[in-house]
Amino acid sequence: MARTTLAHNDLQALLDSAIAEYGVPGAATGVVHEDGDGRIDLDCVWSGITNQATGYPVIGDTLFQIGSISKIFTTVLAMQLVDEGRISLDTRVREILPDFRVQGASDITEHCTIRHLMNHTSGIEGDAFPDNLGRGDDCVAKYVRYIGDFPARSPLGGPLSYSNGAFVVLGRVVEVLRGMTWDEAVRKYIAQPAGFGHIWTLPEDVLRFSSALGHNRAIATDQSTFPAPVRPSPVWNLPRSSGPCGQISASIGDLLGFVSVFLRDGIAPNGTRLLSQHSTMLMTEEQVSLRDQGIENIGWALGWQLPNWGDEPAFGHGGATEGQRANVVVFPKRGLAIATLTNADAGTQMAAQIARTVAKREAGIAPPPEVVMNDRAFTSQEIADMRGTYAREGEEYRIVEGGPTGLLMVIEPDGDDGPMGVRLTLPLHHTDQGFYAVQRPDQRTPTEIALLRVDRSSCAPYGVYLAQGHRITPRIQ
């Protein structure tokens, strides 16, 4: 299908409108096309301010935190080692990190592989972010020891549960085999050879450039005001020990330059090969299905997630740090990638709107399927099946009887809610797609939920899980 190019001025108008609609102080967005012969066409726009406290404007090279999109960089670093024959996807982590362990889970300790780390089926606790491991060059190694004191989140091999911890372990594998810190490896093996001068990991480097500060909601999350007012985040970044799962800051141009590697069979815009064609392909092929956890994603590849765009193949990733949100989506058959960087927590929804609009205008791609809630009452059996307390590190839900449908979901605040997060008690609904959902007052679209049953013979001590946001949370009582 022939594409129609979205005019630069139209892209700018789209961004300006989205910033106003979602109440985001500043953002940058861009589109990259690959013409089928390896040539790329990049268009980026930006608007707003980097920080409410200073009023400094966003410029073309402003660095935003890309959060979990950093996992794709860590995956590339590991796949380069695969290309060199130093490891394989089936190499056991313990072969590289003899002290690696997961408390009470001997099968994960002994048999977790590089592949398990990359596709979120390792069972390693996913959302622990210690702030007491320091900023020394040994902080990633300390994190691997720290995360080993947590029990398994889920069984080895699945169901999939998104794990930041697994990617810090993967980053440590890179450190050991390269003989350098993860931060140095990002510069030496990706940024420098590809000519990306605006990709950095450490604050002392980021702050040499124009850089964005995150912003959080300034009113409680149970207030439905939209867009909610925001205020500067009291924290700039995640601890250095969490670097391999989410610590990269990038300009919109260099982020899209990196993403274009996956439209050019592993070759960077400057002609440098970063990955073999085979490894590039493997990173975008489905490894694990997510179809039993809702309609948002169809599965996961190696590093990349596979969002559900109907019949249109796609891969992508989102990122969330302290009041900053990022997103990238790639349509490989169209040679098209779209990325948005923002400095407020409403940026997740804003980036999704921009992606839908650009995909439609650029390539006639229909929007992703939407979660549709209905008011069908829960049966007595469904109530008995779902009622209970579900908890994991930093997250707790309770499903109790009550409300218009027969069940209520009580959500305790977590780190992603920011300083104004409060307990939410929301009606639980069936969805037309066969899952469940709640409507949070601080979001425009429903939050999809699934119920999973897992074989108790595995290492995990639980049999029932709540799946939400590609994470699973066990029922503990």
Residue 369 region by backbone torsions, left for phi larger than 0, else alpha for psi between -120 and 50, else beta: beta
Distance (Å, rounded) from C-alpha 154 to C-alpha 160?
8
Q: Which of 292, 323, 175, 161 is nearest to 241 (CA)?
A: 175
Query: Choosing from 47, 68, 233, 260, which is the catalytic residue?
Result: 68
3-state secondary structure of 96: helix
3-state secondary structure 292-340: HHCCCEEEECCCCEEECCCCCCCEEEEEECCCCEEEEEEEHHHCEEEEE
Calculate the alpha carbon distances from 10 to 7, 336, 358, 414, 459 in Å: 5, 17, 10, 37, 53
Q: Are 302 and 75 within 8 A, CB to CB?
A: yes
Residue 95 sits at φ, ψ, to 5 deg, of -70, -25
Beta strands in 176-284 (DSSP E): 199-200, 215-217, 230-232, 249-250
Distance (Å, rounded) from C-alpha 10 to C-alpha 18?
12
Place of tokens 């001590």: 461
3-state secondary structure of 169: helix
17 is catalytic: no
State how beta strands 64-65 and 249-250 pair: antiparallel
Distance (Å, rounded) from C-alpha 88 to C-alpha 166?
17
Q: Which of 218, 100, 105 is nearest to 157 (CA)?
A: 105
Helix or strand run (H / E) with residue 431: strand 429-431
Question: Exposed e or buried b for every residue in 140-166, given b needs 16+ CB within 10 A?
Answer: bbbbbebbbebbbbbbbbbbbbbbbbb
Sign of CA dihedral 116, 178, 171, 282: negative
Calculate the alpha carbon distances from 451 to 136, 154, 349, 468 in Å: 41, 14, 25, 9
User: Hey, how many other C-beta atoms are within 10 angstroms of the C-beta on 303?
Assistant: 27
3-state secondary structure of 456: coil
Residue 108 sits at φ, ψ, to 5 deg, of -65, -45
Residues labelled catalytic: 68
